[in-house]
């Protein structure tokens, strides 16, 4: 079923059911689901699916919920930023393409914050003709 979370992170059943389960499989180690949904549902409880990076959140309870509302997930939850449309493929760049790495050295990322911003200036290699950045 189609649900949404309100500002208090409480789960509510969406009155306009826009997600349609097309496949489900479960074994001892994995649960796989496939669903379909319009990119733009005109439902205020849904987010439009766009070409950009989307934040996908997930949660599960170890027991099947059946036809009742989902049970609280506890710590079984997570999120990931992904491109749902036209994802970047690892093999899009030819192997002979020249490259260079820019890496911060000896940076400690604090464990007590969700986001850390780190600014550093790098000297670029000298180029004698026009070049294009094709991946970051």
**Cβ–Cβ < 8 Å for 57, 77:** yes
pLDDT of residue 91: 66
pLDDT of residue 34: 93
User: d(Cα 45, Cα 122) in Å, to the nearest integer?
Assistant: 44
Cα dist. 54→5, 43, 50, 51, 77 in Å?
A: 16, 17, 7, 8, 17
* Per-residue pLDDT tens digits of the chain, which is 136 residues long: 888 888 777 888 899 999 999 999 989 888 899 999 999 999 999 999 998 888 888 888 888 766 677 888 888 888 888 888 887 666 677 888 888 888 888 888 888 888 888 888 988 888 899 888 877 6
Q: What is the pTM of this model?
A: 0.57
pLDDT of residue 43: 93
* 46 burial type by CB count under 10 A (0-12 exposed, 13-18 middle, 19+ buried): middle
pLDDT of residue 95: 81
pLDDT of residue 39: 95
**Cβ–Cβ < 8 Å for 14, 43:** yes
């Amino acid at each position: 079923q189609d649900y949404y979370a309100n500002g208090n992170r409480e789960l509510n059943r969406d009155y306009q059911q826009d997600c349609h389960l097309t496949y489900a499989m479960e074994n001892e180690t994995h649960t796989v689901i496939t669903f379909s949904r319009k990119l733009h549902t005109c439902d205020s409880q849904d987010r439009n699916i766009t070409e950009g990076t989307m934040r996908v959140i997930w949660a599960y309870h170890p027991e099947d919920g059946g036809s009742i509302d989902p049970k609280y997930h506890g710590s079984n939850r997570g999120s990931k930023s992904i491109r749902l449309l036209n994802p970047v493929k690892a093999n899009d760049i030819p192997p002979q393409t020249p490259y260079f790495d820019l890496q911060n050295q000896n940076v400690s990322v604090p464990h007590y914050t969700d986001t850390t911003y780190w600014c550093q200036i790098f000297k670029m290699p000298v180029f004698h003709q026009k070049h294009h950045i094709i991946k970051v």
